[in-house]
A and B are shown apart, each in its own frame.
Chain A
């Protein structure tokens, strides 16, 4: 923290430099991009000249060999399969999460009884039961989807239940006084109020599904992404490994960001 009170004398610099400095101050995004570029540059130089090629590869090489990576038999289908697992997992999480969340949230007694159970299950370190999932569902897409749903459905459940609980009684009272039926209440009072909580839950759910699916994929080293990460590691193929991991990271960022934007859009009418 700058503790000096009076303005510290700035070192004499040309007016152009001062102007640039002020512009830089007003656009932290530029500095941020600069930091990222700097880090990539360090990576490039270190990997090219100083480090062992078996263990790390410069970004330029990684980029150049992306094509080769995708042409490696099985890689592209493994990536598509992963995307498929995430999508199905996400949809299932949303449906199951919303359904249970609604059921638990609507009834005060159900909420009191079952919410603690849900929270307990949510707090479990699920990584410990990953081997069970694979044992039960096999090494194909089923276990990955199941593990993804297992991670993704809880935040949605909890968010929806909390959202229902938060609806002010005055809305129920005024609708009922006008003769609304249960279905009317559900459609015109509850659902609209649920929208922001639901989308917040979806954002957290997406993170969960991503984590679940990726953990399961990495664990199963005989098929899917896990197969390739293990092969590339054993062959010391740093270039392809970094390439594959980067593609997955990019997918994760893109998915997270999309859901985040959707959430922002729908949560607008809330405080």
Chain B
């Protein structure tokens, strides 16, 4: 057993080394491409410049106004999707029959790229935050409603029977049995809904907006300021990763399973 453990440990170490080497090679190639091999500065900026821009963006907080816009849209979209999704999901889950009617319908709509409807929302609500919020809410609604239906609709029936046999009334049934049983599934759906809302808000800002993180990247691209654009992209990726990590943490805390 000891020999095996040693082998595993050395494998893990060497794979880490390979990953580090991979990263180093990519960086090296990037650097060479821009300095020695004459790749156009417009297409691929010098990594050193990118780093300088990155430091500047973070230090000066240039991203904060855009961040505020994006977060505002995200918060509104998610709030709408959550309230509608959980409510409607609960109502549908109360009857086996309605679950059978609506679940396939909702899954089918969820399967298409709903970003397609962005132009419609822009037509209706303009280029401002309203269309981003509406689209974000629409896309985010589906994983939330589907997971709510799954959570409430597939509670272990034995638990419901047991509670009924002990005389639980409807309110007690909901508070003490349905809700705790459904919560893990619903929370997973909420986390997915949050991620999807964030991505869709940034996507709609990229495609059709005049403010926000996504829009700023496009702005920099149009001005051919590629070094700063690369840096900004890195900042946005970091923000997205951070938000997702926070939401995952919250979900982990709130679950009992």
- A206 shortest CB reach to chain B, Å: 10
Q: In the complex, what distance in Å separates the CA atom of A230 from the CA atom of B118?
A: 11
B207 at the binding interface (Cβ < 8 Å): yes
B19 near A128: Cβ-Cβ < 8 Å: no
Q: How large is the interface on A (under 10, 10 to 19, 20 to 34, 35 or more residues)?
A: 35 or more
Q: Which residue of A lies closest to B26 (CB)?
A: A117
B166 at the binding interface (Cβ < 8 Å): no
Assess A256 versus B119: contact at CB under 8 Å? Given A1-B94, A125-B237, A135-B43. no
Chain B residues whose CB sits within 8 angstroms of the CB of A238 once the complex forms: 123
B123 near A241: Cβ-Cβ < 8 Å: yes
Chain B residues whose CB sits within 8 angstroms of the CB of A232 once the complex forms: 119, 123
| Segment with Cβ contacts to B, from A7-15, A190-198, A214-222 | A214-222
User: Which of these, B11, B113, B221, contacts A252 with CB under 8 Å?
Assistant: B113
- A88 shortest CB reach to chain B, Å: 18
Greatest chain B CB density within 10 A among A132, A236, A252 is at: A132
A245 near B117: Cβ-Cβ < 8 Å: yes
Residues of A contacting B: mostly = helix
B42 at the binding interface (Cβ < 8 Å): yes
Chain B residues whose CB sits within 8 angstroms of the CB of A210 once the complex forms: 112-113
Q: In the complex, what distance in Å separates the CA atom of A125 from the CA atom of B70?
A: 15
Chain A residues whose CB sits within 8 angstroms of the CB of B206 once the complex forms: 127-128, 130-131, 219
Chain A residues whose CB sits within 8 angstroms of the CB of B14 once the complex forms: 109, 113
Q: In the complex, what distance in Å separates the CA atom of A1 from the CA atom of B90?
A: 10
Q: In the complex, what distance in Å separates the CA atom of A230 from the CA atom of B173?
A: 52
A42 at the binding interface (Cβ < 8 Å): no
B202 near A245: Cβ-Cβ < 8 Å: no
B237 near A5: Cβ-Cβ < 8 Å: no
A129 at the binding interface (Cβ < 8 Å): yes
Q: In the complex, what distance in Å separates the CA atom of A135 from the CA atom of B11?
A: 40
User: Which of these, A1, A125, A252, contacts B173 with CB under 8 Å?
Assistant: A1
Q: How large is the interface on B (under 10, 10 to 19, 20 to 34, 35 or more residues)?
A: 35 or more
Q: Which residue of B lies closest to A212 (CB)?
A: B113
Assess A245 versus B236: contact at CB under 8 Å? Given A1-B160, A3-B164, A207-B111. no
A233 near B122: Cβ-Cβ < 8 Å: yes
**Apart from A236-B123, A245-B119, A249-B116, what 12 extra A-B contacts exist at CB < 8 Å?**
A2-B95, A5-B164, A31-B101, A56-B124, A109-B11, A112-B15, A127-B199, A128-B202, A131-B220, A215-B207, A218-B116, A242-B120
Sample 25 A-B pairs with CB under 8 A, ordered by A number: A32-B104, A36-B105, A55-B123, A56-B124, A113-B15, A113-B22, A114-B22, A125-B240, A127-B199, A127-B202, A131-B221, A135-B42, A135-B221, A211-B115, A215-B115, A218-B119, A218-B208, A219-B206, A232-B123, A233-B122, A236-B123, A252-B112, A252-B113, A253-B112, A256-B112
- Chain B positions within 8 Å of A, measured between CB atoms, are 11-12, 14-15, 18-19, 22, 42-43, 94-95, 97, 100-102, 104-105, 108, 111-113, 115-120, 122-124, 155, 160, 164, 169-170, 173, 178, 198-199, 202-203, 206-208, 214, 217-218, 220-221, 226, 229-230, 233, 236-237, 240
- Chain A positions within 8 Å of B, measured between CB atoms, are 1-3, 5, 25, 28, 31-32, 35-36, 55-56, 108-109, 112-114, 116-117, 124-125, 127-132, 134-136, 207, 210-211, 214-215, 218-219, 229-230, 232-233, 236, 238, 241-242, 245, 248-249, 252-253, 256
